[in-house]
Structure 1
Amino acid sequence: MSASVLVKLLLLEEARRIDMLRRRRKRFKIRSLRQLSTDKDYIRIYRLNFELIKDLEHDLAQYLPPEPSRSDGVDNRTKILCALSFLANGSYQKRISRNVNTYLSQPSASRAIRAVVNALAHPGFVKKHIRLPHNVNERSYVKERFFKKFHIPDILGCIDSFFVTMVRPKEDDEQFNCGEGYHSRKLTIITDSDLNILYVDVKHGGATQANFIFENSTIRTHLEKLTNEGETLYLLGDSKYTQRPYVMTPYSNPKTDAQKHYNKLHNTAKNTAEKTYKVLKARFKSLLVHRVFHYDPDMVAKIATACCVLHNICNRSGLPVPSLEEDLRKREIGVLNKLKQNRSNDLDEECRFRDELVDRLWCER
């Protein structure tokens, strides 16, 4: 072997050694964040504080691939930080402080995000954080919270649907085409009065009407069963939904003072779902409609579910909600104004249930 070739090999090996050393130093910085940053830093970048991230790492361990045996592999904590940064900011690389970064190469970051999102969206993990009240006592508690805040009895939750935009899929383009050149998943949520998400459905494409999703859901069957068994409970929905004994919608053209009074109360309470979604997007800016996901529909559904799970973790822990920058808010409104959703038609035979509630609210005002 010539001397020049040997020198080149030695230089190449030295370059690899230096690169490995740099990577190890960066991973050490990530593992040392408890000493290098405050909870405020964690929440700003990852939306969760240090203790919640530590708990999340423990709880997700059974749903994540085994940690690497190599010292230069990416551990679970680093994967989770990378995924949280991506979901919160729409970018996998974000500054924590002046000298510390959660740095990974693009391929490593992509693998980490996918692994953590799959874990967060695993049915076993989702059930721990997103669930409807299971029994009469739990439902009564939710109803009481709503009544104290909005003065409408027997509300179990507020339902609404939203767009989670993505690039045009390779297959089944029509079911995801929501107009104006946008493609999306349709995210349906039910929320309680404290902005917790009780139910999430993201199985359908953006072209699917909100009312169709609900009418063909297991939650509708469940509510119908409870109603037929004699329990009084309602979801509040807007004009996208059909009036049912267990779904209260507003009057499209209120005529009496009682109907106007009902609409006012309904609108105030129903906005809980929209407010929840605004908080969800403020926490996880990757969900903003103008930040289109470059993933397949299945992965987009998992990302939306993961964000809902993380939202509940943050909300129930009382963590602050970051503000949404004015320019992002304006861009969001601009896109949403293009993506109007269809209105539904009330069924006359179902409206008597609403009329009964209207009379009750008017008498008790």
Structure 2
Amino acid sequence: MAEKPPDEAYISVVDEEPEILELLKWDTPAIQKQHDQTPVVKEKTAEKRSLKALEMDPFDLPDPTFIETYRLSKDLVRSLCEELKPIMPDSTKTAEFSVESRVLATLAFYATGKYLKSICGKTDPNITHYFVPAALIQVTEAMNHPTIVKKHIHFPHLRQERDVVKHRFYMKYAVPNVVGCIECMHVPIAKPDEDQKGHFNKSYHSKKVQIICDSDLMILSVDPSPGSSTHDGILERHAVKVDLVSLNQTEQCWLIGGPYYSLKPYLMTPIPKIPKKSPVSPEKYYNSMHSQVHSAATDTLKHLKTRWKCLQATCNKQFDPATVSMMIVACCILHNMCNRRGLTITPMTQTEERLEVMKQKVANGPISKKLNTDENGLRVRAELVQRLWNERSLVPENSGPKKRMSKKDRLLDRQPNHTPNISQEQVSIQLSSSSTQQSHLAPPDDASKRPRIVMNQAPTYSLMQPVWGHYPQHH
């Protein structure tokens, strides 16, 4: 039997609700309130993001505060950004991830060794937990580009450049034919996955870096690449060694190295086993002059780690050896940029300096007794010793460090060698003139205000009779 078709006015419960009921739902107050409270989400435009970033523009800081925070001046940061723009990859963001913001975040980390969340007490909204590490890697890789490294770190390969370096060393330290000072330093790293034994220095895992500098504390060469753990091993595989060997065939030039290096014709080291209390001799005088010249290398490393604390022994233990090597080269480039501009440097605290010296001493270990001595090196050093001894009169007296005088010498130094020849009449005239001047200021009866002799020099005692018999006696 066929079913009767539904009437047009018939409303079935199973069928969908008609439009009239759908519209009636909007009349209830609960639905209207819920609809009114839904916020309207607006997408942030690029202009608002840029305005938010400009609220905390680091370039608005005072110059001293900017240099203290980033170690570079504002014009140096801008010029660095212009150099890195063609090398750094483009960012997907426009305001938050600009080249300037990435460079400033990297400089702040280099200067403190920490991820800064605020600058001068103001929080920067661009600094997040993922932005700084990404910016650090990008900027560090860009600064290790060959064009940037060759521009700021350059060893004097030309004869004219070497003559300039030699002249400045000789005018400052009176030691001839010096083209640089060489030394190694240790920078801590994270525990590597490979070659753990080669990176462990009896105290902590570190990267051993070789640095060559000039008399103005400018870095001429840096080698953070992995290799031998000894000072001689790093120098043997370096390109500077090949250049110095070939140069010594036509001209005399050498580096000044510490006691951890072996003596070579192109590398002058101190003469061992000379006690400090021994009498003055050509060998002892050579060691004294050698120590003064080599202080340029130790001062360079000290300034480098003072300005960029990420290289200190207490920082940087979360990066792998490859990243730390690139960071060392980047810090050396920035060090030379600051030195050329003559920017000031905040010295280390006494605790930081002592800790750094102790860490470096432990990492280097004792001086090896099996250093190879070259016969040609002994001959060249003997000639240099004799030349310095013959030219010692040309060295100014105040060039060396002032030694502390003994107690006997201080007592003898206090005694005057020549007593001034002053007659009795001159003394009486001076006393009479002073008494007449004081007589107008105070009555003579007041004993507490009588004139007294003011002596600028230390008093001398002798067996001569006093010459001031006219002076009124105190009772």
Q: TM-score, normalised by structure 1?
A: 0.89
CA distance in 1, matches of 2:179, 2:125: 41
CA distance in 1, matches of 2:304, 2:40: 47
The Cα of 1:341 is off from its aligned counterpart by 3.8
AA aligned opposite 1:358: V
The structure 2 residue matched to 1:300, chosen from 314, 324, 328, is: 324
The structure 2 residue matched to 1:340, chosen from 333, 345, 364, is: 364
Inter-CA distance 173–243: structure 2 relative to 1 (3 Å threshold): same
8 Å Cα contact 1:281/1:287 also seen in 2: yes
The structure 2 residue matched to 1:178, chosen from 171, 182, 201, is: 201
More strand per residue: 1
- Structure 2 match to 1:148: 171
- Structure 1 match to 2:224: 202
SS at match of 2:185: strand
CA distance in 1, matches of 2:318, 2:107: 17
8 Å Cα contact 1:156/1:192 also seen in 2: yes
CA distance in 2, matches of 1:157, 1:116: 29
8 Å Cα contact 1:240/1:341 also seen in 2: no
Inter-CA distance 46–258: structure 2 relative to 1 (3 Å threshold): same
- Structure 1 match to 2:85: 61
- Identify the structure with bigger relative contact order (alpha carbons < 8 Å, sequence gap 6+): 1
- Structure 2 match to 1:239: 259
More helix per residue: 1
CA distance in 2, matches of 1:79, 1:312: 21
8 Å Cα contact 1:189/1:197 also seen in 2: yes
8 Å Cα contact 1:236/1:248 also seen in 2: yes
Q: How does 1:15-164 map to 2 (within 5 A)?
A: 24=50, 26-30=52-56, 32-34=57-59, 36-68=60-92, 70-93=93-116, 95-99=118-122, 101=124, 103-164=126-187
The Cα of 1:252 is off from its aligned counterpart by 0.8
8 Å Cα contact 1:209/1:341 also seen in 2: no
8 Å Cα contact 2:306/2:347 also seen in 1: yes
The Cα of 1:331 is off from its aligned counterpart by 2.6
CA distance in 2, matches of 1:258, 1:26: 69
8 Å Cα contact 1:29/1:100 also seen in 2: no
SS at match of 1:329: helix
AA aligned opposite 1:186: K
The structure 2 residue matched to 1:214, chosen from 218, 226, 235, is: 235
The Cα of 1:294 is off from its aligned counterpart by 0.9
Deviations 1:72-116 (A, max 9, x none): 541000000000000011123164434364841111111001000
Inter-CA distance 137–77: structure 2 relative to 1 (3 Å threshold): same
SS at match of 1:62: coil
CA distance in 2, matches of 1:89, 1:12: 43
The structure 2 residue matched to 1:251, chosen from 265, 271, 274, is: 271
CA distance in 2, matches of 1:188, 1:279: 15
CA distance in 2, matches of 1:213, 1:138: 24
Percent identity over the alignment?
A: 32
Structure 2 residue 245 is the aligned partner of structure 1 residue 224: yes
Q: Which moved more, 1:74-83 or 1:346-355?
A: 346-355
8 Å Cα contact 2:264/2:374 also seen in 1: no
8 Å Cα contact 1:241/1:343 also seen in 2: no
- Structure 1 match to 2:214: 192
CA distance in 2, matches of 1:99, 1:170: 39
Inter-CA distance 29–223: structure 2 relative to 1 (3 Å threshold): farther
- Structure 2 match to 1:288: 312
SS at match of 1:148: helix
Gaps of at least 5 residues in structure 1 are: none
AA aligned opposite 1:249: T
Inter-CA distance 113–12: structure 2 relative to 1 (3 Å threshold): farther
CA distance in 1, matches of 2:125, 2:330: 20
The Cα of 1:11 is off from its aligned counterpart by 6.5
SS at match of 2:186: strand
Q: Which moved more, 1:87-96 or 1:262-271?
A: 87-96
8 Å Cα contact 2:154/2:220 also seen in 1: yes
Gaps of at least 5 residues in structure 2 are: 1-29, 393-475
CA distance in 2, matches of 1:361, 1:11: 85
CA distance in 1, matches of 2:194, 2:327: 19
